[in-house]
Structure 1
Amino acid sequence: MPFSGFDFIIPVLVVLVLLLLFAGIKTVPQGFNFTVERFGRYTKTLTPGLNLIVPFIDRVGAKMNMMEQVLDVPTQEVITRDNAIVAVDGVAFYQVLTAAEAAYQVSGLENAILNLTMTNIRSVMGSMDLDELLSNRDAINEKLLRIVDDAASPWGIKMTRVEIKDINPPANLVESMARQMMAERNKRAQILEAEGLKQAEILEAEGRREAAFRDAEARERAAEAEARATQVVSEAIAAGDVQAVNYFVAQKYTEALATIGSSSNNKIVLMPFEASSLIGSLGGIGSIAREVFGEGSTPQAPSNRVSSARPPRTGPSQE
């Protein structure tokens, strides 16, 4: 059977339809967005999955990665406010939120983010002293993130994190900082030692004051007791109680004798006193003791005076 021209047209049309379908079907992988341009003008954004475009009229423009990406910031030298030169490097994390803005608002997105981050690192860290720079890294990261994110927001991206990795001062500066730190620690140690000595002296002085106060209080109470005893004896004397006088005199007498007898330097003790006085005193002491302990009536002191025996005087007699 001979083939007509129509029999050749049908397969050609089928092939053309299949080619148009393949040209119009676009598959977008997960984590990416494709921009569509019609005659060079942006029209829409293709999301992940199966999408259709107009063949030979529409074409895919930019293929944007929508996942969070990391950008390494190379090492650069920064001059601080106190004229110290430090080498600084870092890392930046960003994510594309709007594919069309990231594709058409800036040329060379990564290069733009990198230069923006490096410039702001010099600006932020150059306005700080070296000590502040080394001790406030979190504050520096927060400030850098805020500044870079505000500057990059028209590009349809979100800066998620900007971190300073290393801050390396020169070797001579590091040595000077070490000496300064050692001097500061020695100063603190001396201050703490001085504070400790001060507290010890204060406590010692308070202890001496408390001891002196208690000694004075004890002497005051002893004086009050002595005054009370003297008052009682005085009242007894005023009332005509001779035994109280004998008791008081005998007490002082015996105390004096005990002091003399306890001396380690005296081997011979001379006691020039009259026996009658000592006997009278002892009698008064016994009478008062019996009155205190309630043993009978009060006896009278002996009326007869016993003369003390005196040794005969030797020597030539006078005629």
Structure 2
Amino acid sequence: MNFTGLDIIIPVLVVLVLLFLFAGIKTVPQGSNWTVERFGRYTRSLSPGLNLILPFIDRIGAKMNMMEQVLDVPTQEVITRDNAIVAVDGVAFYQVLNAAQAAYQVAGLENAILNLTMTNIRSVMGSMDLDELLSNRDAINERLLRIVDEAASPWGIKVTRVEIKDINPPANLVDSMARQMMAERNKRAQILEAEGLKQAQVLEAEGRKEAAFRDAEARERAAEAEARATQVVSEAIAAGDVQAINYFVAQKYTEALARIGSATNSKVVLLPVEASALIGSLGGIGAIAKEVFGGESPTQNTRGANRPPLVPPGQG
């Protein structure tokens, strides 16, 4: 079989067209953007999906990952404002928002973000004291995020988070902080104990004060009652009632004998009075009872004889 020139040209043209089409068709995966360069100059960005470019004229420049990415910040030493040396590491999250800026505004995007973050960690944490550094981690993260995001925004990226993972002071400094914390806790315990003792003493003093006040009040009322009884007896004597004084003397006499007889160190009791005086006083008490109740006194019922009025002891 003889082939003409046309039979050879047609298949070659078909192959060239197919190669041209395959070279111009680009499929961009999800989460990525590709930049297109024409004769070395950026023209546009390709979004995820099927895209067409001019073969042999346009070419793919940079393939940028548009998903949020994490960047590990290595451990570095930071000198605080009070000259304490601490080892600090962290992590940063960022996302590319503009593929062209991320590809052509900075060389080595991840290295640039890493060095920017490390520099600002030393700057921010170096301006703080150690105690403030350990207790204000959230404030440090917020400040770092604001500074790093503002510095990286011309690169077409968004820094979403900067976190400090570990802050490790030297071992001797940790021991000093532990001793300081223990001393502070012991101080608080002593203060609380002293305040409790003070409160107990105050309450005890108030209790003694209240008891003394009530004792004084009781003695005052007893004295008033005694004075009132003496006044009543005096009024009765002034009115000519001799039985009142007999009753008053007999009561005091009997109480005195009872106190003498109940003494623990008394073996023999000597009464420097006549027995008839005590009996006469008891008879006076019986006479008063007869006058009050309108009947015979218990003494009269017992002995069956009337006795003369009582007189003070020693005058009988």
Same fold by TM (over 0.5)?
A: yes
> What's the CA shift string for 1:278-304, capped at 9, x where partnerless?
344223322333455x34389997159
- Mapped contact 1:73–1:90 kept (Cα < 8 A): yes
1:25 equivalent to 2:25? Answer yes
Deviation of the 1:62 alpha carbon: 0.7
- 4+ residue segments displaced more than 6 Å: 297-301
Give me the whole-angstrom Cα distance separating, in 1, the residues matched to 2:96 and 2:290: 116
Matched letter for residue 143 of structure 2: K
Residues 241 and 301 (structure 1 numbering): CA distance in 2 closer, same or farther, change over 3 Å?
farther
Query: CA–CA distance in 1 between the matches of 2:239 and 2:310?
Result: 24
1:81 aligns with 2:77: no
In structure 2, relative to structure 1, the CA distance for the partners of 1:210 and 1:304 (3 Å cut) is closer
CA–CA distance in 1 between the matches of 2:157 and 2:117?
14
Q: In structure 2, what is the equivalent of residue 215 of structure 1?
A: 215
- State the partner residue of 1:302: 308
- Does the CA contact (< 8 Å) of 1:37 and 1:61 recur in 2? yes
Write out per-residue CA displacement over residues 77-129 of structure 1, whole angstroms, 9 at most, x where no aligned residue: 11100011111111111111111111112111111101110110001100111
Q: Give the whole-Å Cα distance in 2 for the aligned partners of 1:233 and 1:154.
A: 113
Output one character per residue of 1:128-187: Cα deviation in whole Å (capped at 9) or x when no partner: 111111122122111111111111112111112111122122222222222222222222
1:265 matched to 2:265? The reply is yes
1:220, distance to aligned residue in structure 2 (A): 2.0
SS at match of 2:26: strand
- Give the direction of change, closer, same or farther, for the CA distance of 1:105–1:287 in structure 2 (3 Å limit): farther
Q: Secondary structure at the match of 1:269?
A: coil
TM-score (norm 1): 0.88
Cα offset for 1:7?
2.1
* In structure 2, C-alpha distance between the alignment counterparts of 1:143 and 1:75, rounded to whole Å: 19
**DSSP-derived class of the 2:240 partner:** coil
Say whether the 8 Å CA contact 1:97–1:157 is kept in structure 2: yes
| Residue 25 of structure 1, CA deviation | 0.7
**Superposed, which structure 2 residues align to 1:1-319 within 5 Å?**
2-292=2-292, 294-296=293-295, 302-303=308-309
Partner of residue 303, structure 2: none
- Aligned length in residues: 308
CA distance in 1, matches of 2:290, 2:105: 124
The answer to which of 153-162 and 174-183 deviates more is 174-183
Q: TM-score, normalised by structure 2?
A: 0.89
Q: Secondary structure at the match of 1:76?
A: strand
Q: State the secondary structure of the residue aligned to 1:44.
A: strand
**Identical columns (%):** 85
CA distance in 1, matches of 2:310, 2:200: 70
Whether the aligned pair in 2 keeps the contact of 1:244 and 1:284 (CA below 8 Å) is: no
SS of residue paired to 1:78: strand
Letter in 2 for 1:26: K
**Aligned partners of 2:310, 2:163: CA distance in 1, in Å?**
118
1:35-62 CA-partner distances (Å, limit 9, x unpaired): 1112222222111111111212211111
Closer, same or farther in 2 for the Cα pair 1:125/1:243, shift >3 Å?
Answer: same
In the alignment, the residues of structure 1 paired with residue 134 and residue 242 of structure 2 have an alpha-carbon distance, to the nearest angstrom, of: 96
- The structural deviation recorded for 1:268 is 2.7
Mind listing any 5+ residue stretches in structure 2 that lack a counterpart?
Answer: 301-305
Q: Is the 8 A contact 1:35 1:100 kept in 2?
A: yes
Other structure's SS at 1:270 match? coil
Q: CA RMSD in A?
A: 2.5
SS in 2 for 1:81: coil
Determine helix, strand or coil for the equivalent of 1:34. Answer: strand
Q: Which runs of 5 or more residues in structure 1 are unaligned?
A: 309-319
Change (3 A) 1:303 1:252: closer
Letter in 1 for 2:245: V
